[in-house]
A and B are shown apart, each in its own frame.
Chain A
Amino acid sequence: MSVQNMQNHMDYEHIPAEKFAFTQLDTNIHDKKLETKSRGYLADAFLRFKQNKSSLVAAVIIIILLLFALVSPIISPYSINDKDPVFNSFPPYLSSVAEKNWGILDGATTHGSQNDLSLSYWKGIAEETGMNPVLRILDVTTTYVKYRGQDKASNTYTLETNRYFENGIVYRVFKYSEYEAIQKWQNETGIQVIYPYVEPKDICDIADNPNIWYQVKDGKGTPVLDDDGNFIPAYSTNAAIEGGEYNSLRIEGDDGSYIYSAKKSGAVQCRVCYYNYYIYVNGHEPMYLFGTNSLGQDLFGAIGTGARFSIIFAILVSAINLTIGAIYGSIQGYYGGRIDLTMDRISDILSGMPFIVCTTLFQLHLGQKVGVVPAFLFAFVLTGWIGMAALTRKQFYRFKGQEFVLAARTLGASDRRLMFKHIFPNALGTIITSCALIIPSVINSETQLTYLGIINLQEFAGTSIGTLMSQGQVAMTTAPHGMFFPSLFVSLLLISFNLFGNGLRDAFNPSTRGVED
């Protein structure tokens, strides 16, 4: 055993030369390449950012809101200058959704304390125009009142009605040409706009309620019902008062004797179904996804219009403040000493000026001369850069004593080169992230000032979210949506911008994670 072992050993010591072979002759030997890809500062930050779920969600929401601001004024059939005098403070409505009866976008308004009489009034509208304003009955309370010695039941209802159908029939006075144009349009589309005329003398002299087309007992509009409980039409057949020739759609049950208009000093007065008349005038059904505000503007488009301005303005402000603040802070931080002290006094004095005072003064002085928006911009810029300057200054103090700066200085780099080529890029991460936090604060201030009416952007931007909110507040109890949608939009925007900014900051400066200042 041991002898054989010995022999093996001997084998290794005397290996003949021909047993050796070259493994490689034609390639160079070098270190193994790194298996992983090298990662830069930005990629690293992006990776950290991606791990932060809430910031990622915030980023997605921001993109959605930006898209909304971009697209909604285009989608909306109304421009910001369209102010509907009839459909103001109306709830959200979209006819194709309302038909499905899902309880959303159906223009629902709640009406309390409705009695049987008002119920028959709604029924009248429903029967004549085919558009039932009553969506659902929420609540019925029955009370008994002693009437001539007997208990008389009377019901009180709480209803939800479609406000867009509530108008039902209205009186309109047309010129002859228009009267004919409507008839022509009716023939083409098959939509009935003009309904048969009812003379006030046939309905107990009710002259101010065009929705009564049935026979009534009294001036309050209590209907006379036939044996089956149906309305009895009170349409006029008095050809003597007919305003103009009618050759168009006739309602059901018309034997051709009903008149559709009445003479009115050189024009005709008609009973017009307002909803269909709206389609005739505008070419489409009312389509208010967020409802209308107290001026009759479409909130869907208006929020987008206001948001467009807010966002562009905020980005502009933060870009300007970033530039001024970075330059100012760089000089302060780099030179230090007396220059730093003097410049600090200047920024101290400016920062002592309350923003609201500053804005007002700019508005009073420059608002007329250079326009509202530039004056507003100046006000933001005057004090806005101070925070950025302080931040840059701090970063400069951190880096200016470090070896790489000394090395560059020894090599003969000029002051400007040192500041902007060597130190500034190191501070960039901090500065950019704080920029993401300036945007929401600018939007917030802008919304507040327009809400207060100190700044009026209506001429320049059409509207602004703050203006929409103050308009919404006027009709807050009857139309809360006017306040709700702008509030929701601005809240979502601010929350997601702040979350996004915090996420960015954590990603760029991992050491400050969780510290909020």
Chain B
Amino acid sequence: MAKYVTQRVLLMLMTLLIITCMCFVLIRMLPPAELPLNDIHTQVIEARREAQGYNKPYMVQFGIFLKNVITKWDWGVSDKLYFGSDVAAKFAEKLPATIFVNLYSILLSIPLGIALGIFAALKKNTWIDYSISTLTMVVISVPSFVFAFLIQYFLSYKLGWFPFLMKEGTNYLSWSMFVSMLPAVLSLSFGVIASFTRTTRAELTEVLTSEFMLLARTKGLTKTQATVRHALKNCMVVVLPAILGEFIGIMSGSLVIEKIFAVPGVGGLYLNAINGRDYPIFIMVSCFYTAVSLLAGIVIDISYGFIDPRIRMGSKK
């Protein structure tokens, strides 16, 4: 196991390095932002650019960039959007909003999704199962911003339950903040609920018809006992890694939802960095997204191995 995990982690790091390098070079190839003429920051930023080797070959620049990131966690200075401020600090400021919104969303949707999935599987081929499955299908197909629109129009505008946009400020644990996050949380939840319902249902229906379930019943367990102790446990082999992946994924969030509800998170920062051509921020957020998606993938794969030692995801045997 240890060897497998190390192998996977090293492979991931290599992938991350290559993608970072590609993004870095591609972004550096674009002309850097023009700096304002009479600003105290201008000279500082120019000096920094010189130190970062802006006129040297790209691979040298990448080396300097990597060294700064690894030794000093220095991701550069924003030269357009938040003129003169440290990118890493700005990013750290934006991260909590994204994490909170997504955390609430999955805390709400994972139990609900799994419960619906179990319910549908137990009532297989009844109208309950059919309606849950159809609804799941519809929810998965419809893009999340359609739900966001429906929630914003009906719950926020027509009924007035929630504010239109997320409240400003950083007091994420206050009640009013929580209420203002709810529309975004709900819009994000639909998709997660549906995907968990689908996974759980598919897995559980398969497990329920397997032979060990028959054995469990013949040795005298009641249906509930057999389902809870044997079927659910086996179904979790697939569901649990998905939950872990979802928890890693909360950091990247959803660009669209963050834009609609004005969540002051990473997605908004990324969009602003693109529109404002702020490349230091753009590099950092791109690396972050890459790292999160790779991390989610590897956590899912490795957790399969921990939950069911027979499975080695991603190995070629």
Contact = CB atoms under 8 A, between A and B. Distances in A.
A352 B16 contact: yes
B274 interface: yes
A512 to B, nearest CB: 11
Interface string A418-453: 000000000000000000000010001001100111
B293 A447 contact: no
Contacts, number: 102
A499 B256 CA distance: 25
B171 interface: no
Interface in A338-390: 340-341, 344, 348-349, 352-354, 356-357, 360-361, 364-365
A451 B256 contact: yes
Contacts of B140: 498
Contacts of B32: none
A516 interface: yes
A473 interface: yes
Given A452-B255, A491-B142, A516-B202, A361 B137 contact: no
Nearest to B260: A473
B146 A353 contact: no
Give the dominant DSSP class at B's interface: helix
Contacts of B26: 361, 365
B49 interface: no
A454 B146 contact: no
Interface residues of A, number: 42
A498 B202 contact: no
Nearest to A353: B19
A480 B156 CA distance: 13
Contacts of B274: 360, 454
Given A361-B26, A491-B141, A494-B141, A476 B15 contact: no
B286 to A, nearest CB: 4
A487 B137 contact: no
B153 A476 contact: yes
Interface string B19-48: 100110011011000000000000000000
Interface residues of B, number: 45
B311 interface: no
A476 B204 CA distance: 42
Contacts of A349: 15, 18-19
A448 B143 contact: yes
A340 B286 CA distance: 29
Contact of A364 (B30, B137, B146, B297): B30
Contact of A354 (B142, B202, B260, B286): B286
Interface string B186-206: 000000000000100010011
B137 A452 contact: no
Contacts of A344: 316
Given A452-B256, A453-B275, A498-B137, A476 B290 contact: no
A502 B206 CA distance: 19
A64 interface: no
B157 interface: yes
Interface of A: 54, 340-341, 344, 348-349, 352-354, 356-357, 360-361, 364-365, 440, 444, 447-448, 451-454, 469, 473, 476-477, 480, 483, 487, 490-491, 494-495, 497-499, 502, 514-517
Given A452-B256, A487-B149, 10 more contacts: A340-B316, A352-B290, A354-B290, A354-B293, A356-B289, A361-B27, A448-B145, A476-B153, A483-B149, A498-B140
